[in-house]
A = this chain, B = another copy of it.
């Protein structure tokens, strides 16, 4: 995957994906990076993800608390707030509508 393009595609999607993962279960930054990579979105750098989490926290979409790490440094756990859940549901529906529109245009191209 072309890296330059992927980084553009992440805009406005990365925070949604983070919310989506947190909707499944609470987690912390370092683990989210691994989850996003496992989902096929590529390696998100810490310098990219942590500001996202701070923005989500400041806007009330997620809540955070520190927990002692069993092994290693302490972790900052995040869980989604009801407000974050609302945002997520609305935006996820919008995304699927948008991506559907893009697919209509790109589908025939890929078919060849």
Contact = CB atoms under 8 A, between A and B. Distances in A.
A68 interface: no
Interface in A21-40: 21, 23-24, 39-40
Contacts of A41: 98, 101-102
A88 B103 contact: no
Within the oligomer, what is the number of copies of this chain?
Answer: 2
Interface residues of A, number: 42
Contact of A110 (B17, B92, B98): B92
What DSSP secondary structure best describes chain A's contact surface?
Answer: helix
A109 interface: yes
B9 A95 contact: yes
**Central interface residue in A89, A95, A97, by most chain B CB within 10 Å:** A95
Interface of A: 1-2, 5-9, 11-13, 16-17, 20-21, 23-24, 39-41, 88-106, 108-110, 112
